[in-house]
Amino acid sequence: MSRKKVSVISESKSGRNKSFRDNYSGESMSRAQFVKAIEGGNYPKYHVRKINGVKTPVSNPDSKHSNNLG
């Protein structure tokens, strides 16, 4: 199994992902920073959904577990 590109490193009490780490570059990002990077085309295997009015990073649906957030 390959290493996940991005991992969640913290979440709120409600379970919303708050911060992320790019496992290849080592960069840590807030949710807003990750959203901006996705929207800028830096993470093509992820997209942004608006969940309860909040822009939220999600992995593109496919059969691979290596790109799932979590």
Checking if the pLDDT of 47 tops 90, the result is yes
Contact 32, 54 (CB under 8 A): no
Q: Which pLDDT value is given to residue 61?
A: 79
Contact 38, 31 (CB under 8 A): no
Per-residue pLDDT tens over the stretch 6-28:
999 999 998 899 999 999 999 99
Across the chain, mean pLDDT equals 88
pLDDT average, residue stretch 23-49:
96
* This prediction's pTM: 0.83
Q: Which of 52, 17, 23 is nearest to 35 (CA)?
A: 17
**Pairing mode, if any, of strands 54-59 and 46-51?**
antiparallel
